[in-house]
């Protein structure tokens, strides 16, 4: 961890996490601590480095938050692997891997928006087991997985409950869809055609800049559904776990050489898949 990160963390929390925490408790504490550390570092001023474009950036807060999570996981789950957006790569012996996104929505984070989060997932060799997403400036913590239904700040999420308001049956044309596409991809028909087909199938669009924040809101009903192409695991697995543990569905489809990821209710995801496939040029 950087010296700045250590200094900020010392002001925030000097206590190491306990290995006795279960996986859900550990995930919740890790994203809370990482998010609070990043927020403290931003308050002290940060410079950004460009990665692939002016909107794809990284800061010292990203690195410090990931280093903290890595350190705690190596203490608390020494047999598990770790994969982080900012370079953490540990091969474990347990068959399980923690996937870290220390700051999802870094461009928003730097611009002073509250729409960013820290996210983590735990996966095994077959699927994602759990996810946790914490949005510090709005104090929202989503957590859920195969062994625990999704909660938001400890309260059950009931968006996809089986009654008259069952979101699984909602038609895409009646829902707001969250998405993201970089402007340069809109000039490539191989990407733009499927994206346009899906986008024009929804009632309205939202492009807010943090996939994990979007997916938490799909789970709790603030957003209707979500789609995006070419997501790395740290941008996809935390939210996938949370949406599916809330009773929704998540999946992907290959169109024109790109993998598109989708989440929401059963009907909406089926219709998103069909719309994306209609943009195929094969």
**282 residues of the chain, pLDDT tens digit each:** 444 444 444 444 446 999 999 999 999 999 999 999 999 988 865 655 655 554 444 688 899 999 999 999 999 999 999 999 989 999 999 999 999 999 999 889 988 999 999 999 999 999 999 999 999 999 999 999 999 999 999 999 988 876 546 789 999 999 999 999 999 999 999 999 999 999 999 999 999 999 999 999 999 999 999 999 999 999 999 999 999 999 999 999 999 999 999 999 999 999 999 999 999 986
266 vs 105: CA distance, rounded Å: 27
188 is in an annotated binding site: no
Identify the pLDDT of residue 3.
Answer: 47
Q: Alpha helix (H) ranges present in 44-133?
A: 60-76, 106-111
pTM beyond cutoff 0.85: yes
- Closest to 146 in 3D by CA, of 216, 221, 246: 246
The answer on whether 79 is annotated among ligand-binding residues is no
Q: So what's the pLDDT on residue 14?
A: 43
Compute CA distances 226 → 19, 42, 186, 211, whole Å. 35, 29, 18, 8
CB of 38 closer than 8 Å to CB of 61? yes
What pLDDT sits at residue 7?
A: 45
- The pLDDT of residue 31: 98
Cβ(103)–Cβ(59) below 8 Å = yes
Determine if residue 101 is labeled as part of a ligand binding site: yes
8 within 8 A of 64, measured Cβ to Cβ: yes
Please tell me the predicted confidence (pLDDT) of residue 12. Answer: 47
22 marked among binding-site residues: no
Could you tell me the domains of the chain? 23-156 (3.30.540.10), 172-279 (3.40.190.80)
Q: Which residues are CB-contacts of 20 (< 8 A; sequence separation ≥ 6)?
A: none
Distance, in Å, from the CA atom of 94 to the CA atom of 136, rounded to the nearest integer, reads 31
pLDDT the model gives residue 44: 60
């Amino acid at each position: 961890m950087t010296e700045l990160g250590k200094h900020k963390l010392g002001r925030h929390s000097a206590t190491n996490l306990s290995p006795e925490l279960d996986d859900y408790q550990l995930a919740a504490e890790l994203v809370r601590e990482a998010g609070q550390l990043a927020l403290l570092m931003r308050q002290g001023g940060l410079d950004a480095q460009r990665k692939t474009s002016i909107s794809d950036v990284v800061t010292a807060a990203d690195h410090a938050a990931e280093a903290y999570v890595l350190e705690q996981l190596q203490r608390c789950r020494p047999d598990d692997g770790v994969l982080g957006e900012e370079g953490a790569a540990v091969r474990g012996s347990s068959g399980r891997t923690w996937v870290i996104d220390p700051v999802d929505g870094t461009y928003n984070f730097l611009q002073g928006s509250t729409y960013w989060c820290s996210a983590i997932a735990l996966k095994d060799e077959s699927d994602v087991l759990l996810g946790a997403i914490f949005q510090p400036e709005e104090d929202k913590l989503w957590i859920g997985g195969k062994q625990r239904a999704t909660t938001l700040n400890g309260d059950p999420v009931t968006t996809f409950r089986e009654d008259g308001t069952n979101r699984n049956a909602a038609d895409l044309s009646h829902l707001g869809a969250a998405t993201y596409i970089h402007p340069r991809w809109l000039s490539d028909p191989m990407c733009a055609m499927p994206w346009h087909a899906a986008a024009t199938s929804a009632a309205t669009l939202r492009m807010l800049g943090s996939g994990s924040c979007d997916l938490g809101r799909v789970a709790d009903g603030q957003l209707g559904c979500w789609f995006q192409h070419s997501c790395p695991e740290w941008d996809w697995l935390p939210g996938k776990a949370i949406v599916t543990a809330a009773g929704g569905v998540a999946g992907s489809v290959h169109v024109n050489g790109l993998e598109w990821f989708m989440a929401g209710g059963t009907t909406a995801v089926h219709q998103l898949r069909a719309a994306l496939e209609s943009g195929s040029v094969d």
